[in-house]
Amino acid sequence: MTATGPTVVTGANGFVGRHLLAALHARHTPNLIGWHRRPPAAGGPVAGVRLVDMLDRDAVRRAIADDRPARLVHLAGAPHVGDAWRNSLPTLQVNVLGTHHLLEAIRLEHPSCRVLVVTSGMIYRAGDAALAEDAPLVPSNPYGLSKLAQDQLARMTAEHDGLDVVVARPFNHVGPGQDPSFAVSSFARQIAMTEAGLAPPQLKVGNLDAQRDLTDVRDVVAAYIRILDAAPRGSAFNVCSGRAHRIGDLLDRLRRLSRVAISTIPDPERMRPSDIPLLLGSHDRLTRTLGWEPAIPIDVTLADTLAWWRSEVGATV
């Protein structure tokens, strides 16, 4: 029997949540509901809105009981590695306890719901080769630890409680609309500010030698939809490009797109206590099982991100 009911996206006002709601709306997904911690800004895709604090167990249970979703994508959480280094407690609370509250509410109120829990490629022990889903789960920072706990909660719920839960493990993703606390978005914003005459021609940068597997956020949400639609219960899939990019090389590509000459200056505030030299994933399982592959070239992603920031900065001038 096919379940009926709305599709719910938690963390709907976040970077990925906004792109996912837009993609689902473009597919004419009926009865979309976005869960938000705060009232969302106007102008988003058509979706119902529910205000839910994931740390409020009773509120989460009431929301599941009221919405009775057929499908739910769990994106709500603390997304930033640097913030987790500065203060681990909020990251652990929202990523782990919030996920526990959600899965427990589904178990008690609506166990037929199909759930996609989004964790992270940061749960693996980084090495010098591409990481598949069977790589050792040894996170190297507090953020990765919180996502590992979230990942294991999701998979244990599928195994022990029989819930229809699947897991996506995204590696770094970038694109238009990302918060400037992330490297590529920070570079693009600083370039747009300089072009507009609102900042000096000098980019503040962190570690430029780190290598990261980067995927366009629009490819990422396409993968999430594919996993939500067709992944076997209890399965986990990496979502990544399979290609590592040196952060400094990405900066150079963005500087070539700049309309003004810009130099760089190291910023100690952008350095982390322990930065992984290389984080690279393999999407072979996702490609073999569900037919997904990344489609948007990195140069398109960079150009679109810079164009978005030019528009945002221009709107404030």
Q: What is the DSSP string of 201-224?
A: SEEEE--SS-EEE-EEHHHHHHHH
- The pLDDT assigned to 1 comes to 35
Coil, strand or helix: which one is 134?
coil
Judge whether residue 190 has pLDDT over 60.
yes
149-189 tens-digit pLDDT: 999 999 999 999 999 999 999 999 999 999 999 999 999 99
0.85 surpassed by pTM:
yes
Please give the Cα distance from 77 to 71 (Å, whole number).
18
Please give the single-letter amino acid code of residue 31.
Answer: N
- Looking at the predicted structure, is the pLDDT value of residue 304 above 70? yes
Q: Indicate if the pLDDT at residue 271 is higher than 80.
A: no
Distance of CA 288 to the CA centre of its chain: 23
> Is 206's pLDDT higher than 90?
no
Q: To the nearest whole number, what is the mean pLDDT of the chain?
A: 93
**C-alpha span between 229 and 71 (Å, rounded):** 9
Q: What is the C-alpha to C-alpha distance for residues 81 and 11, in angstroms, rounded to an integer?
A: 17
Q: Are 87 and 71 in contact (CB under 8 A)?
A: no
Please determine, for residue 199, whether its predicted confidence score (pLDDT) is greater than 90: yes
pLDDT single digits (tens) 153-163? 999 999 999 99
Contact assessment for residue 212 and residue 172, using Cβ atoms and an 8 Å cutoff: yes
Measure the CA–CA gap between 135 and 154, rounded to whole angstroms. 18
Q: What are the structural domains of the chain?
A: 7-174+215-239 (3.40.50.720), 183-213+244-279+296-316 (3.90.25.10)
* Cα 229-296-22 angle, rounded to 5 deg: 50
* Of 134, 102, 113, residue with least CA distance to 236: 134
CB 192 within 8 A of CB 307: no
Whether residue 278 has pLDDT greater than 50? yes
Q: Measured between alpha carbons, how far is 190 from 185 in angstroms, rounded to an integer?
A: 9
Phi, psi torsion values for 153, nearest 5 degrees:
-60, -45
Contacts of 64 (CB under 8 A, 6+ apart): 102, 105, 106, 109, 110, 113
pLDDT in the model for residue 143? 92
Region at 228 (left for phi over 0; alpha for psi -120 to 50; beta for the rest): alpha
State pLDDT tens for residues 29-69: 999 999 999 887 765 556 799 999 999 999 999 999 999 99
Is residue 290 helix, strand or coil? helix
CA gap 303, 317 in Å, rounded: 21
Q: Are 95 and 83 a contacting pair, CB within 8 Å?
A: no
